[in-house]
């Protein structure tokens, strides 16, 4: 591991706390040291309190902050005398510890101090760095872990057996430090099955000690490893792909969790190689790298064989989770959802499941590091990978402080959170409005359009964009499969793509006018349904919404090609509703009218149209029973609602968004 220290960059950070920010970010920039909020750092300073009296203060990383992006505001200033007094207590609940740490802060607006604040306080060094380095965890997580650590580091570090984080760990570290004749001569501390601390009076030295000690672990593993390349055997194997089974796995996990989840597959050589190991199921069900990960990943992975049904695999995981809970519950706890957070899928790779894309990415990152570190340990040590006993992992998973965090994060969620929505014709107008409304309600939107403008338009709302000719079967199928490959399935289909062909009376109607309208306004929707239906059947509360037109019920002269295509689309919706109802898939259609905030309605066109009726543009826009203007946003909001549980009991419906039309009524 290389040091990222830069003298040039370091000069930009003046003062102890600023330098603490700099080296913390250096640690956070290396995923093999800390992942997604893991690890913590501190610096001891002297500063004036509110009354102008110099006070010894520990600035320690605050809860909720990530080392990679931390600012000064991310450190909680806690009085050292309070922390040291707490370290002398014989007993203290973790909840009381958190309360008293917060009461001892100089700034009440700062975040809660790390639960390891007392640990940082009792280490007699100015700067303290703590990480969950993969390589160090690999050294500790085997049957001879302590002997290995002592052999690698000798007297440079002290070793503390695993103790649950919180006050118990603070006491254990305090006692260990008191036994050392001169703790200021130590370079670090190893917490078995947990991580590593380094410390020094100088920020740069403390950081570089971390790099040095982790590098020693990496070199030891490389020397002991039987194979240098993880998953080397996969060179002879092409990863299998079964997107329908992927969608079904995601569906079963969602049902067990009680909400829609995304599924992210990793088919790298390392991931597939791990999934193909004969003992992959054993390795993936021994426990996490560090206890901290259990809050994100649960204790073990789901293991799934290709010839098993996803439902059976997920049910088995849930049954085993129930047994795990029953065995360790003291009678006072309520079980969490029994759904897996990651999986090993034989011959396919690994999967991460999350209710949000952020959660999914975090779990995917932890899974990747878990697979790599387990493999390193297996290669380096006789007896291989050994995690903490299930009882100790359970204590963290159901720890009162972690339960409090989960309760705080609970609450109302966006209506489409966890869902995957495919929207066509989304580069502008109604299609863009539909995509935006779905994204605002939590869906991951994948938008298709022939217009290259789809790319910058989707960037505005955090959606994916694909340039696709929707009349091309192969490209439509490829787009659908890529969507499933990225997120695990499809739950919502908004089929909006269309074209308004030039007005021509029947006796003058050109074949190309008719053919274009039928191809885009009708046939392209049929193709899309054909390729999405297999995945919609495996979706979460799946819904299809087609975008029709007022012309279906009130056609105009000279619009035969457009009106007939939209009428055919309406009939297609009705047939789809009949066919898909037994599968739980709803199919409805919306009929907008007079939506003038689109590209075809330029100010000049609007002015000419209003003039023909002898009214103003404003009056022309509101030419409906409610005398209200219909905007793309109004249609998008209706479509989003129709795809939501609000319409869970409705299928085959035709919903107008036109302000009321006397010709239709």
**83 C-beta neighbours (distance < 10 Å), count:** 25
The DSSP element (H or E) to which 353 belongs, if any, is strand 349-354
**Residue that is written with structure tokens 């787009």 in the block:** 479
Q: Please work out, in degrees rounded to the nearest 5, the angle formed at the alpha carbon of residue 361 by the alpha carbons of 6 and 396.
A: 90
Q: Please work out, in degrees rounded to the nearest 5, the angle formed at the alpha carbon of residue 116 by the alpha carbons of 62 and 217.
A: 105
Counting DSSP H helices and E strands in the chain, the numbers are: 26, 18
Q: Give the side-chain half-sphere CA count within 13 A for 532.
A: 34
**Mean pLDDT along residues 347-351:** 96
What pTM was computed for the model?
0.93
Cα 532 to chain centroid, rounded: 24
Q: How far apart are the first and last CA of the chain?
A: 73
Is residue 408 very low, low, confident or very high in pLDDT (cuts 50, 70, 90)? low
Residue 106 has pLDDT above 90, yes or no: yes
Q: What is the DSSP string of 565-604?
A: HHHHHHHHHHHHHHHHGGGT-EEEEEEE--B-SSTTS-HH
Report the pLDDT value the prediction gives residue 382, as an integer from 0 to 100.
Answer: 81
Is residue 184 very low, low, confident or very high in pLDDT (cuts 50, 70, 90)? confident
Inter-residue long-range contacts of 280-286, CB under 8 Å, 24+ positions, other chains counted: 280/344, 280/346, 281/344, 283/374, 283/378, 283/384, 283/385, 284/344, 284/374, 286/385, 286/386, 286/387
Lowest mean pLDDT among 170-174, 196-200, 600-604: 600-604
Read off the pLDDT of residues 512-536 as tens digits, 9 standing for 90 and up: 999 999 999 999 999 999 999 999 9
Report the pLDDT value the prediction gives residue 665, as an integer from 0 to 100.
Answer: 87
Cα 385 to chain centroid, rounded: 28
**pLDDT cut 70: percent of the chain above it:** 97
**Residue that is written with structure tokens 């580091």 in the block:** 153
Mean pLDDT score of the chain: 94
Report the pLDDT value the prediction gives residue 600, as an integer from 0 to 100.
Answer: 75
Helix (H, G, I), strand (E, B) or coil at 112: coil
Is residue 232 very low, low, confident or very high in pLDDT (cuts 50, 70, 90)? very low
**Mean pLDDT along residues 491-506:** 92
Read off the pLDDT of residues 252-265 as tens digits, 9 standing for 90 and up: 999 999 999 999 99
Read off the pLDDT of residues 362-390 as tens digits, 9 standing for 90 and up: 999 999 999 999 999 998 998 889 999 99
- The third-level CATH classification (topology) of the domain covering 235-408 is L-fuculose-1-phosphate Aldolase (3.40.225)
Residue 236 has pLDDT above 60, yes or no: no
Q: What is the DSSP string of 631-664?
A: -HHHHHHHHHHHTSGGGTT--S-EEEESS--TTT
Residue 227 has pLDDT above 60, yes or no: no
Q: Considering Cα of 658, then 659, then 661, then 665, what sign does the dihedral take? A: positive
**Mean pLDDT along residues 207-219:** 97
CATH superfamily of domain region 420-595+630-657: NAD(P)-binding Rossmann-like Domain (3.40.50.720)
Report the pLDDT value the prediction gives residue 407, as an integer from 0 to 100.
Answer: 67
Identify the bridge partners of residue 351 per DSSP, sorted by sequence position: 265, 343
Report the pLDDT value the prediction gives residue 237, as an integer from 0 to 100.
Answer: 58
Residue 234 has pLDDT above 50, yes or no: no
**159 C-beta neighbours (distance < 10 Å), count:** 15
CB-based contact 532:473 (threshold 8 Å): no
Q: How far apart are CA 272 and CA 608, in angstroms?
A: 63
Q: Please work out, in degrees rounded to the nearest 5, the angle formed at the alpha carbon of residue 476 by the alpha carbons of 474 and 479.
A: 110
3-state percent helix, strand, coil for the chain, nearest multiple of 5? 50, 15, 35
Report the pLDDT value the prediction gives residue 609, as an integer from 0 to 100.
Answer: 84
CB neighbour list of residue 255: distance below 8 Å, 6 or more residues apart: 314
Report the pLDDT value the prediction gives residue 405, as an integer from 0 to 100.
Answer: 65
CB-based contact 205:213 (threshold 8 Å): no
Dmax (CA) for the chain in angstroms is 103
Q: How far apart are CA 602 and CA 609, in angstroms?
A: 11
CB neighbour list of residue 82: distance below 8 Å, 6 or more residues apart: 100, 101, 103, 104
Inter-residue long-range contacts of 86-91, CB under 8 Å, 24+ positions, other chains counted: 86/118, 86/167, 86/170, 87/118, 87/121, 87/122, 87/170, 87/171, 87/174, 89/167
**Mean pLDDT along residues 468-484:** 97
Give the burial string for 194-222 (b: 16+ CB within 10 Å, else e).
bbbbbbbeebbbbbbbbbbbbebbbebbe
Q: What architecture does CATH give domain 7-224? A: 3-Layer(aba) Sandwich (3.40)
Helix (H, G, I), strand (E, B) or coil at 263: strand
Tokens of 379: 């290669």
Is residue 301 very low, low, confident or very high in pLDDT (cuts 50, 70, 90)? very high
């Amino acid at each position: 591991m290389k040091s990222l220290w830069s003298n040039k960059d370091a000069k930009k950070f003046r003062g102890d706390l600023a330098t603490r920010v700099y080296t913390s970010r250096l640690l956070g920039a290396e995923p093999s040291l800390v992942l997604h909020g893991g690890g913590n750092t501190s610096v001891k300073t002297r500063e004036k309190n509110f009354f102008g009296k110099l006070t010894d203060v520990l600035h320690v990383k605050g809860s909720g902050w990530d080392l990679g992006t931390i600012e000064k505001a991310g450190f909680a200033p806690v009085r050292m005398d309070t922390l040291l007094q707490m370290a002398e207590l014989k007993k203290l609940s973790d909840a009381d510890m958190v309360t008293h740490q917060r009461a001892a802060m100089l700034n009440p607006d700062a975040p809660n101090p790390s639960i390891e604040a007392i640990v940082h306080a009792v280490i007699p060094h100015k700067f303290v760095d703590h990480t969950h380095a993969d390589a160090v965890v690999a050294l500790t997580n085997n049957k001879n872990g302590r002997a290995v650590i002592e052999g690698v580091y000798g007297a440079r570090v002290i070793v503390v057996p695993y103790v649950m984080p919180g006050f118990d760990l603070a006491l254990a570290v305090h006692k260990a430090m008191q036994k050392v004749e001169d703790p200021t001569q130590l370079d670090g501390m190893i917490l078995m099955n947990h991580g590593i601390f380094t410390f020094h009076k100088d920020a740069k030295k403390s950081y570089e000690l971390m790099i040095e000690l982790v590098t020693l672990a990496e070199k030891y593993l490389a020397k002991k490893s039987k194979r240098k390349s993880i998953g080397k055997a996969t060179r002879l194997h092409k990863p299998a792909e079964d997107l329908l089974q992927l969608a079904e796995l995601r569906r079963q996990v969602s049902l067990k969790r009680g909400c829609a989840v995304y599924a992210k597959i990793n088919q790298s050589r390392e991931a597939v190689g791990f999934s193909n190991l004969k003992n992959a199921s054993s390795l993936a069900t021994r426990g996490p790298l560090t206890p901290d990960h259990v809050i994100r990943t649960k204790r073990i992975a789901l293991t799934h064989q290709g010839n098993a049904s996803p439902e059976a695999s997920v049910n088995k995981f849930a049954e085993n989770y129930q047994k795990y809970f029953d065995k360790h519950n003291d009678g006072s706890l309520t079980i969490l959802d029994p759904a897996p957070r990651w999986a090993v899928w034989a011959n396919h790779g690994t999967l991460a499941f999350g209710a949000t894309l952020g959660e999914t990415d975090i779990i995917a990152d932890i899974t990747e590091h878990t697979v790599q570190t387990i493999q390193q340990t297996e290669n380096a040590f006789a007896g291989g990978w050994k995690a903490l006993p299930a009882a100790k992992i359970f204590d963290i998973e159901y720890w009162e402080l972690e339960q409090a965090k989960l309760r705080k994060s609970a609450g109302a969620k966006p209506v489409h959170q966890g869902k995957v929505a495919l929207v066509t014709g989304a580069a502008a107008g109604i299609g863009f409005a539909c995509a935006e409304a779905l994204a605002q309600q939590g869906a991951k939107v994948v938008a298709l359009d022939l217009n290259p403008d789809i790319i910058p338009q989707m960037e505005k709302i955090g959606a994916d964009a694909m340039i696709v000719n929707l009349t091309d079967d192969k490209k439509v199928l490829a787009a659908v499969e890529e969507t499933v490959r990225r997120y695990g399935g499809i739950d919502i289909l908004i089929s909006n793509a269309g074209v308004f062909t030039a007005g021509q009376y029947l006796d003058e109607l050109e074949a190309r006018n008719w053919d274009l309208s039928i191809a885009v306004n009708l046939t392209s929707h049929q193709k899309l349904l054909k390729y999405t239906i297999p995945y919609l059947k495996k979706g979460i509360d799946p819904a299809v919404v087609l975008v029709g037109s007022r012309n279906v019920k009130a056609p105009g002269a000279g619009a035969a090609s457009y009106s007939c295509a939209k009428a055919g689309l309406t009939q297609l919706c009705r047939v789809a509703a009949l066919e898909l109802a037994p599968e739980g898939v709803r199919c409805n259609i919306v009929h907008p009218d007079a939506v003038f905030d689109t590209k075809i309605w330029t100010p000049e066109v609007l002015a000419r149209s209003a003039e023909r009726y002898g009214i103003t543009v404003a009056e022309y826009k509101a030419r409906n029973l409610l005398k209200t203007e219909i905007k793309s946003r109004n249609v998008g909001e209706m479509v989003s609602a129709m795809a939501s549980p609000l319409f869970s009991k409705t299928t085959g419906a035709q919903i107008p968004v036109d302000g009321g039309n006397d010709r239709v009524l």
